[in-house]
Chains A and B, each alone.
Chain A
């Protein structure tokens, strides 16, 4: 990390220059201290996934894979139905996000325009309730309906995560859009619906993108719904990684490879819309459970 910038070439007295240099080194050091845990855990994950089993069990630990091997990834995909679980996750998070967009974007618009901010309290309550507490009653209902172990049940439960996120972000986003255009459209004889469809919605596209990605990520990351409601063939990735891999094989390499398969899509999405995510998350601190 080349954070230390060469001191300006002016004739400053030596003591002051030394003091400045020391402060810069200290600052660079503190940056290194706070950033390194984040990067090191991910690098260690990568290292574990690229090493053979002998090196993974070695003490002192082998840090750099020599030579790196993709055998762990191959094993994870060939011996466990990793592809199927990946697809399950895509379907569940994708559908839950799509349904949530369908009802959540208009709701956000309605809340913003009708000034019905009290409704966001519902969102806050959803935010505060432990995910497990939704699960017991839903589990009973799904059992009654014969929906346990189906992807339908999972999609319905994931709505608990996606709908509040999208409503909350979209309400905040429509709030920031100028009302003048919509008023003009209404005066020109447009209905509330056409105003929403042709004026507000196109303008809200950036907000929709952020809400979609955040909802998808938090749905993707959810573990407990899949762990409880899914059957062998309907597990989502996080549930599968825990249930299948930890019990059926204790090898570290494949486990780390599976962990990477689970979390890589999310990290890539995060990097793509880094700035917008930061804005969306800190605005009231919405986070799925």
Chain B
């Protein structure tokens, strides 16, 4: 994004052409304006109204936002979202990096095994969530049976207020670790071989090689993975909605779940629009924070 102006062709011949290239972009831009930009502006506008579907809308200014700031349930939803996101970023990053280190080596059936490993990523979330719901079942679920095989007591999984978020994260880890793996694997493939050779000559151990050569070199890729994972975890919806519906009680109600209820169960679109705006600001802030970390770590 930073090199646009510098490389822009300046001659008249090409500038004229540039205009015709924009004609290629125009239809898509119009479409994006209609289905993405317009909804955005409309949302901001709606958030200033006490607006319920089926009744007359009243202009209330920033009242929806003021109410949200003191809404216990919404504030708890923010906490749930952050808790879920933290776990759903850290674990896939750790496991995805480990998996990438494994798949970076040569071994028989590597391609096939990698294809199997990446399958969860493309599977339809709702379908997968249904299967996990059955696996989490406290009496007949296969997970408690597996726990009993290794001598552990059965768990309530998503039926326990304290375990529901970690259990949902388990599904998220299963689903999205492959994406982290692929991004890190791409980073590993681009590594130069010289530093390893000289370090080996100097008698470095495997761990030292990883810690002082591999890790710093793939760090930018880890950050890209972290940004993508954060954005996706914050807006996770399908699996949470299908597996726990935000329950038990509101124990796993994230911002997205709260938003869904406000908009499509209570039809309170004014309030829901305010939630969307706050939600987007949170996502933007998290993404910028991570990119800022990236800028700072570049020079060390």
Tell me the residues in window 95-112 of chain A with beta carbons closer than 8 Å to chain B beta carbons: 99, 102-104, 106-107, 109-111
Query: How would residues 239 to 263 of chain A score, 1 for a CB under 8 Å from any chain B CB and 0 otherwise?
Result: 1011000100000100110111011
Among A34, A44, A104, A143, the most chain B Cβ lie within 10 Å of the Cβ of A34
Query: How would residues 22 to 46 of chain A score, 1 for a CB under 8 Å from any chain B CB and 0 otherwise?
Result: 0000010011001101110110110
By the criterion CB–CB under 8 Å, are B31 and A163 in contact? yes
Chain B residues positioned under 8 Å from A167 (CB to CB) = 28
By the criterion CB–CB under 8 Å, are B116 and A35 in contact? yes
Q: Size class of B's contact patch?
A: 35 or more
Report B99 CB to chain A, min CB distance, Å. Answer: 5
Contact residues of A with B, CB < 8 Å? 1-3, 5, 27, 30-31, 34-35, 37-39, 41-42, 44-45, 48, 56-61, 99, 102-104, 106-107, 109-111, 113-122, 125-141, 143, 156-157, 159-160, 163-164, 167, 186, 191-193, 196, 217, 220-221, 223-224, 228, 237-239, 241-242, 246, 252, 255-256, 258-260, 262-263, 266-267, 269-271, 274, 277-278, 281-282, 285, 287, 289
Query: How would residues 213 to 233 of chain B score, 1 for a CB under 8 Å from any chain A CB and 0 otherwise?
Result: 000000000001100100110
Not counting A35-B117, A130-B279, a sample of 6 additional A-B residue pairs whose C-beta atoms are within 8 angstroms of each other reads A27-B105, A130-B280, A130-B283, A132-B256, A163-B35, A262-B127
Chain A residues positioned under 8 Å from B20 (CB to CB) = 191-193
Chain A residues positioned under 8 Å from B35 (CB to CB) = 134, 138, 156-157, 159-160, 163
Kindly list the 7 A-B residue pairs having the minimum CB-CB distance in the complex, ordered from nearest: A110-B24, A107-B28, A259-B127, A114-B21, A137-B39, A137-B42, A110-B25
By the criterion CB–CB under 8 Å, are A159 and B31 in contact? yes
Interface hit among B69-77, B131-139, B158-166: B131-139
Chain A residues positioned under 8 Å from B108 (CB to CB) = 2-3, 5
Write the chain B residue with the least CB distance to A133: B276
By the criterion CB–CB under 8 Å, are B109 and A1 in contact? yes
Query: How would residues 120 to 140 of chain B score, 1 for a CB under 8 Å from any chain A CB and 0 otherwise?
Result: 111111111011101100011
Report A189 CB to chain B, min CB distance, Å. Answer: 14
By the criterion CB–CB under 8 Å, are A266 and B25 in contact? no
Among A131, A133, A191, the most chain B Cβ lie within 10 Å of the Cβ of A133
Contact residues of B with A, CB < 8 Å? 1, 3-4, 7-9, 17-18, 20-25, 27-29, 31-32, 35-40, 42-43, 46, 53, 95, 98-99, 102, 105, 107-109, 113, 115-128, 130-132, 134-135, 139-140, 142, 145, 174, 178-179, 182-183, 185-186, 224-225, 228, 231-232, 234-235, 237-238, 241-242, 256, 259-260, 263-264, 269, 272-273, 276, 279-280, 283-284, 287
